[in-house]
Amino acid sequence: MRSPHDREAAAAVAGMQEIYGFTNPGVWDGERRRWGEDEPVLFYHQGQVTRGHVMRAKYGEERDTYYVRKHIEGGGTEVVEVLDRAMLIY
């Protein structure tokens, strides 16, 4: 049986996916959450929640850096550098 906390978290994930579309919550490796290449993600970029696609991941000792392709309003895409602390699990 799932705890109330687990049910609340699942509901939050479902709500975010309904608004932003499916994204990958990453995988907890025992120390921190990590994402791999080709995964759809949500992250903070310039103060806004942004949806993108991991193009490359650089795993470090203390911090991970992700290179994420995102849509540019008005057309096109760009790849931005995103630190792990800006990645969202929803």
Q: Which residue has the tokens 């932003």?
A: 20
pTM of the model: 0.76
Nearest Cα to Cα of residue 90 among 17, 7, 2, 11: 17
Contact between 64 and 32 under an 8 Å Cβ cutoff? The reply is yes
pLDDT in tens, the chain (90 residues): 678 877 776 777 676 667 666 788 899 888 899 999 999 999 999 999 998 999 999 999 999 999 999 988 888 899 999 999 999 987
